[in-house]
Amino acid sequence: MLGRRCLKLVAGLAVQEAELIRIGQCQEYQDQAAVGEKSRLQVDAMTQALNIAPRAECYPALLRELLRTQGGEGRGTLFCHPERQADVSAWLAQHSHLGWTLNNDNALAQDTLKLITEQGVMTLSWQRVVTHRLTKTETLSLN
């Protein structure tokens, strides 16, 4: 008689323990979902903030990223959309030691720059830089 009661008690404890484990797993899943949603909202907010940045501020950032990624070695030809030539030209005037020559390219989007050097061709857009920074990718690849 005592054995049956012990077995029922043990079985009841096992069911309760299984229920507690299931509740814990559900809570962990909900916590992870909340963290993922919070992270997504932060990325969305940062993306919107960066995308409304004045274009005059974007080009120096793009040019610094090109310089950083390219390593600042060697002369090259820099292409930009004709409407952005003044912004890019002003930056290049302050960095004449780079030896980059500026040319227009109507085929480029207004937020895109292309640098051609002996090391290769690098095309970089503001959207790509924003995405790169928010996802914290190690390096931007050529093209």
Q: How many domains does the chain have?
A: 2
How far, in Å, CA of 7 to CA of 60, rounded?
75
Q: Looking at the domain assignment, is residue 142 inside a domain?
A: no
pLDDT tens digits, 58-70: 778 888 888 887 7
How far, in Å, CA of 143 to CA of 136, rounded?
18
Domain of residue 92, residue span: 55-135
Note the pTM of the prediction, 2 decimals.
0.58
Q: Looking at the domain assignment, is residue 18 inside a domain?
A: yes
- Max CA distance (Å), the chain: 96
What does the pLDDT read at residue 54? 53
Q: Is the pLDDT of residue 4 over 60?
A: yes
pLDDT tens digits, 97-130: 888 999 999 999 888 999 998 888 888 888 887 7
Give the CA count within 13 Å in the CB-facing half-sphere of 95.
Answer: 20
